[in-house]
């Protein structure tokens, strides 16, 4: 299994992820831990694989299962490319505007502690953009 640079940073002999997660275990959300663990196991044949055999030359290939996780650099890049292709095909070919909403640094801790508020923030952001385009 060929290593990638992010995997090396997280899981090399220095045990960066292990050290970090132990130090910050109270602040790490369960989903973050789950995604990093999936990333760690991704592509390891010990976690399952498909065995492909060529009927002509009888060449055998082991294709390990992938995690399909958001954090995984291998899996998420493929998902992002597929999403991009779909958007290009389905979005009307017109000029687009990019709008970026940021959260003031002083308010970020509130959203970190109450992540459920992020949906309300996004809903209000959508209303603002819709109102702006109506004018």
Other CB atoms within 10 Å distance of the CB of residue 76: 16
- The chain-wide mean pLDDT, for the chain, equals 87
Shared-domain flag, residues 46 and 87: yes
Residue 53 φ then ψ, to 5°: -125, 125
Asked if residue 66 lies in contact with residue 72, where contact means CB atoms within 8 angstroms, the answer is yes
Shared-domain flag, residues 90 and 128: no
Shared-domain flag, residues 107 and 80: no
Asked if residue 56 lies in contact with residue 86, where contact means CB atoms within 8 angstroms, the answer is no
Residue 103, CB-side half-sphere exposure with 13 Å CA sphere: 14
Shared-domain flag, residues 81 and 113: no
Nearest to 120 by CA among 107, 133, 135, 106: 107
Shared-domain flag, residues 75 and 121: no
pLDDT in tens, 17-74: 999 999 998 999 999 999 999 999 998 999 999 999 999 899 999 999 999 888 888 8
For residue 131, the enclosing domain spans 97-135
Shared-domain flag, residues 9 and 73: yes
Shared-domain flag, residues 59 and 17: yes
């Amino acid at each position: 299994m060929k290593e990638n640079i992010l995997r090396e940073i997280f899981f090399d002999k220095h045990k960066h992820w292990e050290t970090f997660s132990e130090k910050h275990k109270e602040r790490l959300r369960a989903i973050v831990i789950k995604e990093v663990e999936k990333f760690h196991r991704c592509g390891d044949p010990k976690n399952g694989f498909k065995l492909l055999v060529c009927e002509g030359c009888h060449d055998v290939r082991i294709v390990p299962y992938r995690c399909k996780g958001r954090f995984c650099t291998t899996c998420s890049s493929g998902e992002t490319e597929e999403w991009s292709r779909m958007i290009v095909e389905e979005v009307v070919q017109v000029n687009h505007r990019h709008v970026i909403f940021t959260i003031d640094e002083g308010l970020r801790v509130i959203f970190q502690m109450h992540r459920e508020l992020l949906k309300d923030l996004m809903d209000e952001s959508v209303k603002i953009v819709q109102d702006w385009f109506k004018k």
